[in-house]
A and B are shown apart, each in its own frame.
Chain A
Amino acid sequence: MRSQRGYGILSCLAALAVIAVLLVSVGVVTHHSAQAAGKTLSIIIDTEADRADEAEIIATYLRSIGVEAEVRIWEWSALKERLLAGERQLCLSDWGSAYFDPFDLVIPKLGTSDRGNYSGYSNTELDKLLSQVQMTADQSERKEAYFKAQKIIFEDAPWIFGYALKETEAARGEITNWQPAMDSRMNLHDVGLTRGDTIIVGMKADKIITLDPAMYRDRDTETVLRNMFDGLVTRTWDGKVVPEIAESWTIPSDDVYIFKIRKDVKFHNGKTLDADDVLFTFERILEDGAIAGQSSPRKGLLGPLEAVEKIDQYTVKFTLANPFPIFPQALVHFQIVPKDYIEKVGDTEFAAKPVGAGPFKFKEGRLDDQVVMERFDEYYGGSREIPPAGVAPAKRAIFRMMPEATVRVAALKAGEVHIIQQLPPDLAKTLAADKNIQVKSVDGTRVYCVELNCQKPPFDDVRVRRAMNYAVDWDAILTSIYGGNGVRLACAFLPSGFGFDPGLAPYPYDPGKAKALLREAGYSVK
């Protein structure tokens, strides 16, 4: 009896121990690493599962200079909460930029207390520069501010600065005039094919969110929508903003933009597009609860846009609360919708049967399966600056959701699809050898790095942070894991973005220097 009770207590204790281990491992209880005086630097590297290999290599580099490093794998949203609460030490993270301006990268990632700032980094001088680049329209002044910002970030080293990967896509041989875009959007308007009349795209996405251009925040949805809807402006594959539905635009003062609209643009229902439609498009986004009782999640993307006014049937004036020089870049991501049609059928019906002014019109589709479009024969031709202008060469375009990369490649080889997104580096090599397949890469717009918790020891000490930057050989990581398919970054700026300083060289791999810095900061090294 007694021994049984003993076993009962023992098993209770064992169960508690198991629970404690589980809680620690899911991060409910914070793990306090021992950092006794004298003292070995001991850290936990947090990562999501898909970059676990990379985290292990980083840990190995750190161990080689005498740092105790272990890797912990997390589910992202769970980790993010801990990061924002400042409870973690360092984590592998990444962030994309859509505006070809560091605006949507550096501000959310490194601005004091901004929503993507997982390192808790804060520098008043940098904050000042970042608000300056948002408020002024003078491009040379902005560029100078960005250059200064890069120096500060580089010196402060709030991250172990990482790399940007190339985006690789592939297409079958019969596809012509195809070029992957840096912002990973895909416009099939200009793409032709030498055999057949249907282009099928294997999307990397599991689903797209909606067919209503006011209700999404992700790039995959935009990729599909951009083929049915056009914007006032669009972007060339390498990031230049050019007019699309707009004829031209003027900037009479820093906070006013006046767009002239082309008169030959028709919606798929035959109605001519004019200023009323443009006005309606933006008012629908700005006004709370305007879309079947819901609000558009895209409002913030318009920055300080305050009012949209119609000047005449084909002229629209945008007034901003303060200068916002990347406004045209932002407008690339807004597609014009037909006022009359939506007012007639309602927002819900519009999302089910969208009507736009793009090169293809919606035929049928399911958001997590495939979306089928047919060529719009009365298309005005698209941007004059991205030739050839005119109706699309392909009669039909189909976007299929194919989240598994291996299957995308198999389907491309089997001829079931014509273009595939996001080709993993290991598969890119086998495909490049195939004569029927074309493989192309462009610079990506996503920064990969390791964010260090600047608020707490040990990374509140800039010497330790710099030591981390010297301790990791990124070139070796890029070669071994990513097949050499990336570029090192000196700091948090992308080469494709505005105001990038090419003169700033990345921290070199120098374990000797790393050790010296750590020793200086009071840590024992190997």
Chain B
Amino acid sequence: MTRTQVQVTERIIAAIPIMLGVVIFAFLFMRMIPGDPVDIMMGEAGGVTLEEMDFLRAQFDLDKPLLVQLTRYLGKLARGDMGYSIQRARPVKEVILEAVPATIELALFSLLLALVVGIPLGIASARYQNSVIDRFGMTASFLGISMPAFWLGIIGIIVFSLRLGWFPTSGRIAYGMEPATVTGLLTLDALITGDTQALRESLRHLALPAITLGAGVAAVVARVTRSSMLEALKTDYVLFAKAKGVPELIIVVRHALRNALIPTVTVVGLQMGTLLGGNMIVETIFGWPGLGRIVVDAIFSRDYPLVQAAVMVYALTFVVINLVTDILYTYLNPKMTL
């Protein structure tokens, strides 16, 4: 094994106690919040007897002491069983796996949009500091950060769906248009199967949620790229390259940008983690069947197993993303090690 491989393996092993800690914390915190999942499940109805509620509580182990519940839960987890959702009457694993493709797809497109818009805007703003471009870019990014998703999303629907009719108001794809399932990511599946109509339809559905979710990220990326580019453009090696007569484009892209990207990678890594967790607000507005809505709903309905599993998925996402970010650092700056 190379040195990097050893380091990566070490990092993965180190993640196990972190995950365990996160699981236990999630387990305990959920039970500290007042509220009874069985009572919530029964909704409002007459004729609910205490025996019936007790029976259901016992079915979910909720009548046992906390420690017993925890050991049972961890035991099941070790065998790969994430439990049974109290609210949704299905295995937790199914619920989460079903939501993951939609979440990943939206996250990737939002991020792609953020990078495509944010990085060039940041570079241009830095290169032409204090120019019209810079002022425009920074005003736009200021707006991007400030506009709340619930507002931007609804304005987007009113303008682009209702007035202009360009994009649908909500959903992932219209019924009857879906490509054959391969990965669960509709755009990717459409590409794989060569279904251009499905590709166009899924992109049309993705547009508004991805813009709504990506606007804030693009703004952050633009700002971070701009400030680190400004710094990089003032360094000695850039001055030296200029003196040597290296063409400007090469200076900016090869010399300055590569060094300036490290803070951007950090920010993008963190944002990616957040995006992959799903965004309850954007998902609610656009009826997007992702993880964010499920988790928030699970918290409100005190669906302990589902919340615990979701928190675990989040922790895992962050661990992986941190690792990937660190590997990217070493690529951008070979002096760095993991």
A74-114 near B? 1/0 per residue, CB < 8 Å: 01111011100000000000011011000111011000000
The minimal Cβ–Cβ distance linking A329 to chain B, given in whole angstroms, is 11
Of A306-314, A363-371, A481-489, A500-508, the segment with at least 4 beta carbons within 8 Å of chain B is A363-371
Of B37-45, B139-147, B227-235, the segment with at least 4 beta carbons within 8 Å of chain A is B37-45
> Residue B89 contacts which of A103, A115, A215, A366 (CB distance < 8 angstroms)?
A215
Contact call B89/A116, Cβ cutoff below 8 A: no
Which A residues lie within 8 Å of B39 (CB)? 80, 115
- Max chain A Cβ within 10 angstroms of own Cβ: one of B39, B40, B47, B293: B47
Contact call B169/A368, Cβ cutoff below 8 A: no
B258 adjacent to chain A (CB < 8 Å) = no
Which A residues lie within 8 Å of B287 (CB)? 369, 400-404, 407
Contact call A108/B35, Cβ cutoff below 8 A: no
Whole-angstrom distance between the alpha carbons of A80 and B300 in the complex? 13
Please, which residue of chain A has its CB at the minimum distance from the CB of B60? A294
A403-415 near B? 1/0 per residue, CB < 8 Å: 1101100110110
B286 adjacent to chain A (CB < 8 Å) = yes
A190-214 near B? 1/0 per residue, CB < 8 Å: 0000000010000000110110100
B80-121 near A? 1/0 per residue, CB < 8 Å: 000010011110000000110000000000000000000000
Q: A95-B44, A301-B47 are known contacts. Are A81 and B89 too (CB-CB below 8 A)?
A: no
A300 adjacent to chain B (CB < 8 Å) = yes
Whole-angstrom distance between the alpha carbons of A501 and B251 in the complex? 85
The minimal Cβ–Cβ distance linking B48 to chain A, given in whole angstroms, is 5
Q: A402-B287, A407-B154 are known contacts. Are A294 and B59 too (CB-CB below 8 A)?
A: yes
B268-294 near A? 1/0 per residue, CB < 8 Å: 000000000000000011110100011
B63 adjacent to chain A (CB < 8 Å) = no
Contact call B41/A297, Cβ cutoff below 8 A: yes
Contact call A107/B46, Cβ cutoff below 8 A: yes
Q: A288-B55, A297-B56, A404-B284 are known contacts. Are A81 and B34 too (CB-CB below 8 A)?
A: yes
Contact call B158/A410, Cβ cutoff below 8 A: yes
Contact call B172/A369, Cβ cutoff below 8 A: yes
Contact call A416/B47, Cβ cutoff below 8 A: no
B168 adjacent to chain A (CB < 8 Å) = yes
Contact call B34/A300, Cβ cutoff below 8 A: no
Contact call A300/B300, Cβ cutoff below 8 A: no
Q: A77-B40, A104-B45, A303-B47 are known contacts. Are A366 and B157 too (CB-CB below 8 A)?
A: no
The minimal Cβ–Cβ distance linking B98 to chain A, given in whole angstroms, is 7
Please, which residue of chain B has its CB at the minimum distance from the CB of A217? B43
> Residue B162 contacts which of A75, A107, A410 (CB distance < 8 angstroms)?
A410
Whole-angstrom distance between the alpha carbons of A315 and B236 in the complex? 94
A295 adjacent to chain B (CB < 8 Å) = yes
Contact call A369/B289, Cβ cutoff below 8 A: yes
Which B residues lie within 8 Å of A217 (CB)? 41-43, 45
The B9-51 residues at the A interface (CB cut-off 8 A) are: 33-36, 39-49
B322 adjacent to chain A (CB < 8 Å) = no
A386 adjacent to chain B (CB < 8 Å) = no
Whole-angstrom distance between the alpha carbons of A396 and B297 in the complex? 29
B171 adjacent to chain A (CB < 8 Å) = yes
The A217-267 residues at the B interface (CB cut-off 8 A) are: 217-218
> Residue B169 contacts which of A216, A366, A411 (CB distance < 8 angstroms)?
A411
- Max chain B Cβ within 10 angstroms of own Cβ: one of A96, A198, A218, A369: A369
Whole-angstrom distance between the alpha carbons of A288 and B46 in the complex? 20
Whole-angstrom distance between the alpha carbons of A398 and B170 in the complex? 14
B75 adjacent to chain A (CB < 8 Å) = no
Contact call B154/A406, Cβ cutoff below 8 A: yes
The minimal Cβ–Cβ distance linking B90 to chain A, given in whole angstroms, is 7
Contact call A366/B285, Cβ cutoff below 8 A: no
The B296-333 residues at the A interface (CB cut-off 8 A) are: 297, 300, 302
B161 adjacent to chain A (CB < 8 Å) = yes
A299 adjacent to chain B (CB < 8 Å) = yes
B150-168 near A? 1/0 per residue, CB < 8 Å: 0000100110011001001
Which B residues lie within 8 Å of A406 (CB)? 154, 157
The minimal Cβ–Cβ distance linking B101 to chain A, given in whole angstroms, is 11
> Residue B45 contacts which of A78, A98, A366 (CB distance < 8 angstroms)?
A98
Contact call A366/B289, Cβ cutoff below 8 A: yes
Which B residues lie within 8 Å of A367 (CB)? 88
Contact call B35/A210, Cβ cutoff below 8 A: no
Please, which residue of chain A has its CB at the minimum distance from the CB of B285? A404
B52 adjacent to chain A (CB < 8 Å) = yes
Q: A77-B34, A210-B89, A217-B42 are known contacts. Are A398 and B157 too (CB-CB below 8 A)?
A: no
Please, which residue of chain A has its CB at the minimum distance from the CB of B297? A206
The minimal Cβ–Cβ distance linking A166 to chain B, given in whole angstroms, is 19
A372 adjacent to chain B (CB < 8 Å) = yes
Contact call B47/A104, Cβ cutoff below 8 A: yes
Q: A300-B52, A366-B98, A369-B171 are known contacts. Are A413 and B162 too (CB-CB below 8 A)?
A: yes
Whole-angstrom distance between the alpha carbons of A306 and B87 in the complex? 27
The minimal Cβ–Cβ distance linking B166 to chain A, given in whole angstroms, is 11
Whole-angstrom distance between the alpha carbons of A300 and B44 in the complex? 12
Which B residues lie within 8 Å of A80 (CB)? 34-35, 39
Which A residues lie within 8 Å of B42 (CB)? 115, 217, 297, 300
Please, which residue of chain B has its CB at the minimum distance from the CB of A111? B46
A351 adjacent to chain B (CB < 8 Å) = yes
Which B residues lie within 8 Å of A289 (CB)? 59
Contact call A77/B56, Cβ cutoff below 8 A: no
- Max chain A Cβ within 10 angstroms of own Cβ: one of B36, B44, B168, B286: B44
The minimal Cβ–Cβ distance linking B21 to chain A, given in whole angstroms, is 23
Which B residues lie within 8 Å of A99 (CB)? 46
Q: A108-B44, A218-B43 are known contacts. Are A78 and B169 too (CB-CB below 8 A)?
A: no
Please, which residue of chain B has its CB at the minimum distance from the CB of A299? B52
Please, which residue of chain A has its CB at the minimum distance from the CB of B84? A294
The minimal Cβ–Cβ distance linking A16 to chain B, given in whole angstroms, is 20
Contact call B36/A407, Cβ cutoff below 8 A: no
Which B residues lie within 8 Å of A414 (CB)? 161-162, 165, 168-169
Whole-angstrom distance between the alpha carbons of A256 and B46 in the complex? 21
Contact call B88/A210, Cβ cutoff below 8 A: yes
Whole-angstrom distance between the alpha carbons of A104 and B46 in the complex? 4
Which A residues lie within 8 Å of B154 (CB)? 404, 406-407
Which B residues lie within 8 Å of A407 (CB)? 154, 157, 169-170, 285-287
Which B residues lie within 8 Å of A398 (CB)? 175
Contact call A410/B44, Cβ cutoff below 8 A: no
Whole-angstrom distance between the alpha carbons of A217 and B48 in the complex? 11
Whole-angstrom distance between the alpha carbons of A75 and B302 in the complex? 12
Whole-angstrom distance between the alpha carbons of A216 and B170 in the complex? 26
Closest A-B pairs by Cβ, 9 of them? A77-B35, A104-B46, A369-B289, A81-B34, A411-B169, A215-B89, A300-B48, A217-B43, A78-B34
List B residues at the A interface (Cβ < 8 Å): 33-36, 39-49, 52-53, 55-56, 59, 84, 87-90, 98-99, 154, 157-158, 161-162, 165, 168-172, 175, 284-287, 289, 293-294, 297, 300, 302
Residue pairs across A and B with Cβ atoms less than 8 A apart, 12 shown, are: A107-B46, A115-B53, A207-B294, A209-B89, A294-B89, A297-B42, A351-B90, A368-B99, A369-B171, A370-B175, A407-B287, A411-B170
